[in-house]
Amino acid sequence: MPTKKDNSSNAKNFEAKKQMKVSDDDDDDMDQENGKKNIVKKPGRTLLVSPGMGSSLNESIVSDLKGLKNSFSTKNGSYFLTFDTIENSVINHKKLRTEQPNLKVKFARYQIFFTMNGLTNEHDYTAVKKLITDYVQEKTGGEVLYFKLYRRGDNYYFDTKGENPIGYGDLTIDTKESMDLLLNKEGPLKECTLKLKAGEASVDIAIKYYRFNKTPRTDGQKSSYINQV
């Protein structure tokens, strides 16, 4: 559990993050239209299906879909539907949007923030990405849809005020179950140490995962982009 000192340091760094140029989403496919680069987000295995304004959603509509693995409803009548494969998720996304135009259907994505100890500017971005992505997918069974490490120009962004430089990044995974495994304080995945090959040697990269706040919350006079849990 982070201390008050950790929270203060993190808050300063996340405020600074707003001012830096971070890496592009190198996992999303890109469209070129009218000379502009548009991000096309990758589909995942979870759909969020919501009733339209002033209407309700009949459970029978979402209870007998091909490849449906599990589902749960929310207080406002929406459903989160997780499928066995991305292919079946895409098929049912199209099916529901075509056959039930009154419903709102979109892919649900779960964003996670992480910190890294042991990373240096000598380490290859692609190698670090593969190391973390492969580990997360193997241990959680989820699909990493998005991954980025925070950088300033061509260098990684580090907090250098502590004893060891801390690097930052975030990833997006396609099921809540996978997210919960990474964030579980009592589980084995919230903190892990992975070995990154660097030439003939290897280096330990210590990683810690946090719930990501898309909207900064105020903590005293500082802003934080993660929930410290």
pLDDT tens for 154-213 read: 899 999 877 788 999 999 999 999 999 999 999 999 999 999 987 778 999 999 999 997
Residue 12 has pLDDT above 50, yes or no: no
Q: Which residue has the higher pLDDT, 157 or 15?
A: 157
**Within-domain flag for 196:** yes
The total number of structural domains that make up the chain: 2
**Within-domain flag for 35:** no
Shared-domain flag, residues 204 and 139? yes
SS in 3 state form for 186-213? CCCCCEEEEEEEECCEEEEEEEEEEEEE
- Domain with 21, as residue range(s), is 4-25+109-227
Q: What are phi and psi of 188, to 5 degrees?
A: -85, -5
**Within-domain flag for 193:** yes
The last residue of one of the domains, among 80, 107, 134, is: 107
pLDDT average, residue stretch 41-70: 90
Shared-domain flag, residues 51 and 21? no
Strand-pair partners of 114: 169, 209
Shared-domain flag, residues 57 and 76? yes
Shared-domain flag, residues 209 and 130? yes
**Within-domain flag for 131:** yes
Return d(Cα 203, Cα 201) in angstroms, integer. Answer: 7
**Within-domain flag for 32:** no
Shared-domain flag, residues 120 and 99? no
CA neighbor of 3 nearest in space, from 188, 162, 207:
162
94: its two tokens: 């199209």
Shared-domain flag, residues 223 and 168? yes
Shared-domain flag, residues 173 and 82? no
Shared-domain flag, residues 94 and 156? no
pTM of the model: 0.77
pLDDT at 227: 43
Residue 228 has pLDDT above 60, yes or no: no
> With bands split at pLDDT 50, 70 and 90, how would you rate the model's confidence at 28?
very low
Q: Return the number of other C-beta atoms located less than 10 Å from residue 76's C-beta.
A: 8
Shared-domain flag, residues 192 and 218? yes
For the chain, give the number of residues. 229
pLDDT at 193: 96
pLDDT at 19: 36
Shared-domain flag, residues 103 and 137? no
Shared-domain flag, residues 63 and 125? no
What separation in angstroms does the CA of 137 have from each of 142, 193, 211? 5, 16, 17
Rg of the Cα trace of the chain?
20
> With bands split at pLDDT 50, 70 and 90, how would you rate the model's confidence at 27?
very low
Return d(Cα 81, Cα 73) in angstroms, integer. Answer: 9
